[in-house]
Amino acid sequence: MVSFTLLGTGTPAPSLRRQSSGYALQVGTDVIVIDHGPGAAHRLLEAGLRPTDVTHVMLSHLHYDHMADYPRLFLQRWDVGSGKIGELYVAGPAPLAAVHQRLFAPDGAFGPDITSRTTIQASLDVFAARGGQGERHPPAPTLREIAPGDTLTGAAWTMRVAKATHFEPALTCLAFRFDTPDGVIVYTGDTGGVTDEIVTLAKGCDVLIHMCHAEAGTEPSAEYARTVGSHLDAAKAAAASGAKALVLTHLPPSIDKPATLARLTREMAPIYDGPIIVGEDLMALSLEAGVLTATRAARRGADPLQALDKVVAATNDIQAVCAAADAAAQATVGHGLFTVMRLHRDAMEVERLYSSQPDAYPPGGRKPKKDTAWTTQVLKRGKPYFGTGPNAIRSAFNDHATILALGLDCVINVPVVRDDVVVGTVNCLAAPGELSTLDVPHIEAIAARIASAI
């Protein structure tokens, strides 16, 4: 399995919600950090990774929002791991070697710090206490300056390098393609427009992680549009390359609003018909044999499904079971409203057994379900439904006005099936852009566990 964690999905703009660009790819025995802007080092720890776990650093370009935390990662990895782990492999565009020297050479910014830690007895005592043996040496990474057309290889991966269109000629800007036994991930770095280089690099990939720094049509100049990716650039690149899924990143505060993101993803859908995922910090993308799953890693911890299993095994109390299902859904995909319905098949009526917002959307009562496409798909055929936008809510719920008034317009409806018969539904709703088709399997797993209680 390959894991790709979004450490930072923001921009240079200061933000508590989105740190600057940073990603971590775990494949085989390697942990590859891709870009490491401000805040990414902290997110790395939140994702359960340590600096000493990192084996490679790949920098797409040398804007500070893509590399300001690189010195922190480099020094902490060396300081804690010196004498116990191998040297770091660092690759990026020229002038990477000169930048590295200015940071870490004896006369560089951190040169005196490194000298003190390799010569002063107190630091040597700390080195020995951490398990270091013999003489403490300064860091000696492998540095490689890369350019479009280059290929790098690891034990279980190959990285191909292509040109990104951004801030040339002041900066050389690159995009990366990672081919692994479980699938292909492409990271565009910062790029604008829809270029042959990006489309060729991403051809047939499983996941395309694309810059989305602007709303198409609002760019202040043609040059800005050429060098800074918009939402429609991302959709067109994904469609042209045949990418199986598209992840939006590098999201600025100007479009990082639920309603705006929902509108932008709806505008992208006619161009690209695959899954569109709005990236968020600490989201983990996993690929196994070409099958993609997405998890909000910030909510990970104890397995919420195990907690649900324990409740189901311990009680027949439908409210307790539904509350545990609610908690599991919140932990795995997040939501604004979670409900559980029982189907009375003889009358084709549904009864709301549980609501996570009982005051605004109370349980109780029975309502007839009309013979609609939604009814056929979910209640008769037993297939899940995903929809986004007001029309999707109207098609799924009789009381759509109440739901829309709560600011919810993403929905996942999953049938609860017992003995091959649909007996109810589990319904998960969220604010615009906060759910995707990749969240459906998580809700299906919850629905399967509570079938005996419905």
Same-domain status, 160 and 38:
yes
pLDDT reading at 178 higher than 70:
yes
Prediction pTM value: 0.72
Residues 13 and 145 in one domain: yes
Paired with 415 in beta bridges are 425
Instruction: For residues 93 and 97, give the distance between their C-alpha atoms in angstroms, rounded to a whole number.
Output: 9
Pick from 259, 275, 298: which residue ends a domain? 298
Amino acid identity of residue 93, one-letter, is: P
Lowest-confidence region among 25-34, 136-145, 238-247, 299-308: 299-308
pLDDT at res. 299: 42
**What integer pLDDT is reported at residue 286 of this predicted model?**
92
Give the per-residue pLDDT at 301: 45
Q: Which residues pair with 143 in a beta bridge?
A: 90
Same structural domain for residues 197 and 245? Answer: yes
| pLDDT tens column, 37-49 | 999 999 999 898 9
What integer pLDDT is reported at residue 300 of this predicted model?
A: 42
**Residue 32: in which H helix or E strand, if any?**
strand 30-36
**Whole-number pLDDT of residue 298:** 44
- Mean pLDDT over 389-411 rounds to 85
Domain boundary among 252, 275, 298: 298
223 with 344, same domain? Answer: no
Say what the pLDDT of residue 306 is: 84
Q: How confident is the model at residue 370 (pLDDT cuts 50, 70, 90)?
A: confident
Mean pLDDT of 368-388: 91
Angle at Cα 10 formed by Cα 4 and Cα 12, nearest 5°? 130
CATH number at residue 231: 3.60.15.10
What are 324-339's pLDDT values in tens digits? 999 999 888 888 999 9
Report the Cα–Cα distance between both ends of the chain, in Å, rounded.
35
Asked if 284 and 292 touch (Cβ cutoff 8 Å), the reply is: no
Mean pLDDT of 377-400: 88
Confidence at residue 446, expressed as pLDDT on a 0 to 100 scale: 94
pLDDT of residue 22 exceeding 70, the answer is: yes
- Above 80 in pLDDT, residue 296? no
Question: Which pLDDT score, from 0 to 100, does residue 418 have?
Answer: 92
| Higher-confidence position of 397 and 269 | 269
Nearest residue to 76 via CA among 130, 22, 20: 130
The answer to whether 337 and 357 have CB atoms below 8 angstroms apart is yes
Mapped to the 3 state alphabet, what secondary structure does 182-212 carry?
CEEEEECCCCCCCCHHHHHHCCCCCEEEEEC
Instruction: Looking at the structure, tell me whether residues 311 and 263 fall in a common domain.
Output: no
| Digit-coded pLDDT (tens) for 179-227 | 999 999 999 999 999 999 999 999 999 999 999 999 999 999 999 999 9
Task: Tell me what pLDDT residue 297 has.
Answer: 53
Q: What's the rounded Cα separation, in Å, for the pair 369 and 379? A: 9
Please indicate, yes or no, whether residues 247 and 326 belong to a single structural domain of this protein: no
The whole-angstrom separation of Cα 212 and Cα 448 is 36
Which has the higher per-residue pLDDT, 331 or 55? Answer: 55
Lowest mean pLDDT among 74-78, 242-246, 292-296: 292-296
Instruction: Looking at the structure, tell me whether residues 292 and 335 fall in a common domain.
Output: no
% of residues, the chain, pLDDT over 70: 98
Q: At CB < 8 A and 24+ separation, what contacts does 407-411 make?
A: 407/258, 407/336, 407/431, 408/336, 408/337, 409/262, 410/262, 410/434, 410/435, 411/385, 411/386, 411/387, 411/435
pLDDT digits 0-9 by tens, 79-137: 999 888 999 999 999 999 999 999 999 999 999 999 999 999 999 988 888 778 888 99
Write down which residue in 277, 298, 319 finishes a domain: 298
Q: Do 290 and 312 have their domain in common?
A: no
Do 320 and 356 fall within a single domain? yes
Q: Do 272 and 399 share a domain, yes or no?
A: no
**Nearest residue to 20 via CA among 281, 276, 295:** 281
List the CATH number of the domain containing 310: 3.30.450.40
Q: Do 89 and 235 fall into the same domain?
A: yes
DSSP code at position 378 = I
- How many domains in the chain? 2
Domain of residue 420 covers 303-453
Same domain for 265 and 314, yes or no, is: no
State how far the Cα of 386 lies from the Cα of 379, in Å rounded to an integer: 14
Phi, psi of 175, rounded to the nearest 5 degrees:
-125, 155
